[in-house]
Chains A and B, each alone.
Chain A
Amino acid sequence: MANRPLRLLWLQSGGCGGCTLSLIGAESPDLATALDAANVDLVWHPSLSEETGAEARAKIEAVAEGQEPLDIFCLEGSVMTGPNGTGLFHRMAGTDTPMMAVIEKVARRARYVVAVGSCAAFGGITAANGNEVGAIGLAYDGKQAGGLLGADFRSASGLPVINISGCPIHPDWFVETLLQISAGAFDVVDIDEWARPVSYTGHLVHHGCSRNEFYEFKASAEQLSHMGCMMENLGCKGTQARADCNIRPWNGSGSCLDGNYPCINCTAPGFEEPGHAFAATPKISGIPVGLPTDMPKAWFVALASLSKAATPARLREDATKDRLTALPTRGKGKR
Chain B
Amino acid sequence: MSRLIIGPFNRVEGDLEVRLDTSADQVQRAEVTSPLYRGFERMLHAKPLPDALVYAPRICGICSVSQSVAAARALAAMDNRAIPPAGAHAINIVHAVENLADHFTHFYLFFMPDFARETYAPEPWHQAAAERFAAVKGTATRDALPARAGLMQLMGILAGKWPHTLSIQPDGSTRAITRSEKARAGVILTGFRGYLERTLFGDRLENVAALSSRDALYAWAEAQAARPSDFAHFIAISRALDLASLGRTSVPHMSFGAYPNADGHFFSRGLFRGGVGTFLDLGAIAEDVSHAWYRQGGEHGSPMHDAPPPDATREDAYSWCKAPRLGSEPVEVGALSRQLVAGHPLLRDIVRLGGASVEARIVARMLELALVVPAMERWLAAIDTDAAFIDHRPLPANGEGVGLTEAARGSLGHWLRGEKGKIDHYQIIAPTTWNFSPRDANGTPGPLEQALEGVPIRAGETEPVAVQHVVRSFDPCMVCTVH
A13 touches B392 (CB 8 A): no
Please, how many angstroms separate the alpha-carbon atoms of A163 and B8 in the complex? 25
B165 neighbours in A (Cβ, 8 Å): 256, 259, 261
Task: Bits for A236-249, please: 1 = Cβ < 8 Å to B, else 0.
Answer: 00000000000001
B278 neighbours in A (Cβ, 8 Å): none
Residue of B nearest to A260 (CB): B174
Give A218-268 interface residues, CB cut-off 8 Å to B.
Answer: 223-225, 249-262, 264
Our pick among A19, A31, A42, A259 for the contact of B174 (Cβ within 8 Å) is A259
Given A22-B163, A50-B134, A251-B161, answer yes or no on A223-B392 (Cβ-Cβ < 8 Å).
yes
Given A88-B312, A256-B161, A259-B160, answer yes or no on A277-B58 (Cβ-Cβ < 8 Å).
no
B6 touches A94 (CB 8 A): yes
Q: Determine if A331 is an interface residue (Cβ-Cβ < 8 Å).
A: no
A251 touches B164 (CB 8 A): no
Please, how many angstroms separate the alpha-carbon atoms of A90 and B176 in the complex? 41
Q: Determine if A128 is an interface residue (Cβ-Cβ < 8 Å).
A: yes
A261 touches B166 (CB 8 A): yes
Give B163-188 interface residues, CB cut-off 8 Å to A.
Answer: 163-167, 169, 172-176, 178
Please, how many angstroms separate the alpha-carbon atoms of A99 and B15 in the complex? 11
B163 touches A49 (CB 8 A): no
B109 touches A47 (CB 8 A): yes
Our pick among A30, A32, A33, A279 for the contact of B136 (Cβ within 8 Å) is A32
Residue of B nearest to A34 (CB): B145
Shortest Cβ distance from residue A222 to the other chain B in the assembled complex, whole angstroms: 9
Q: Determine if B153 is an interface residue (Cβ-Cβ < 8 Å).
A: yes
Residue of B nearest to A36 (CB): B142
Q: Determine if A148 is an interface residue (Cβ-Cβ < 8 Å).
A: no
Please, how many angstroms separate the alpha-carbon atoms of A252 and B17 in the complex? 37
Our pick among A21, A57, A129, A132 for the contact of B163 (Cβ within 8 Å) is A21
Q: Determine if B274 is an interface residue (Cβ-Cβ < 8 Å).
A: no
Q: Determine if A187 is an interface residue (Cβ-Cβ < 8 Å).
A: no
A25 touches B167 (CB 8 A): no
Task: Bits for A27-59, please: 1 = Cβ < 8 Å to B, else 0.
Answer: 100111101000000101111111111111100
Please, how many angstroms separate the alpha-carbon atoms of A261 and B54 in the complex? 11
B388 neighbours in A (Cβ, 8 Å): 322
Q: Determine if B51 is an interface residue (Cβ-Cβ < 8 Å).
A: yes
Q: Main SS of chain A's interface residues?
A: loop
Please, how many angstroms separate the alpha-carbon atoms of A30 and B64 in the complex? 22
Task: Bits for B99-120, please: 1 = Cβ < 8 Å to A, else 0.
Answer: 0000001000110011011000
Please, how many angstroms separate the alpha-carbon atoms of A254 and B177 in the complex? 12
Please, how many angstroms separate the alpha-carbon atoms of A45 and B148 in the complex? 19
A168 touches B10 (CB 8 A): no
B10 touches A52 (CB 8 A): yes
Q: Determine if B463 is an interface residue (Cβ-Cβ < 8 Å).
A: yes
Given A16-B58, A21-B61, A249-B156, answer yes or no on A129-B134 (Cβ-Cβ < 8 Å).
no
Please, how many angstroms separate the alpha-carbon atoms of A19 and B161 in the complex? 13
A88 neighbours in B (Cβ, 8 Å): 312
Q: Determine if A86 is an interface residue (Cβ-Cβ < 8 Å).
A: yes
B209 neighbours in A (Cβ, 8 Å): none
Which one of B40-48, B226-234, B364-372, B373-381 is at the interface? B40-48
B166 touches A50 (CB 8 A): no
Please, how many angstroms separate the alpha-carbon atoms of A52 and B463 in the complex? 7
Task: Bits for B1-36, please: 1 = Cβ < 8 Å to A, else 0.
Answer: 000011111110111110000000000000001011
A225 touches B174 (CB 8 A): yes
Q: Determine if B407 is an interface residue (Cβ-Cβ < 8 Å).
A: no
B166 touches A52 (CB 8 A): no
A167 neighbours in B (Cβ, 8 Å): 58, 164
Shortest Cβ distance from residue B181 to the other chain A in the assembled complex, whole angstroms: 9
Q: Determine if B243 is an interface residue (Cβ-Cβ < 8 Å).
A: no
Residue of B nearest to A95 (CB): B7
B8 touches A53 (CB 8 A): yes
A49 touches B8 (CB 8 A): no
Shortest Cβ distance from residue B169 to the other chain A in the assembled complex, whole angstroms: 6
| 22 A/B residue pairs, CB under 8 Å, sorted by A | A13-B36, A45-B10, A46-B8, A53-B8, A55-B463, A80-B37, A90-B15, A93-B16, A126-B38, A129-B44, A223-B390, A223-B392, A224-B166, A224-B390, A225-B176, A250-B161, A254-B159, A256-B166, A257-B160, A259-B159, A259-B175, A260-B160
Which are the 10 A-B pairs with shortest beta-carbon distances? A259-B160, A18-B61, A94-B7, A93-B7, A254-B156, A252-B153, A251-B156, A250-B161, A261-B166, A93-B17
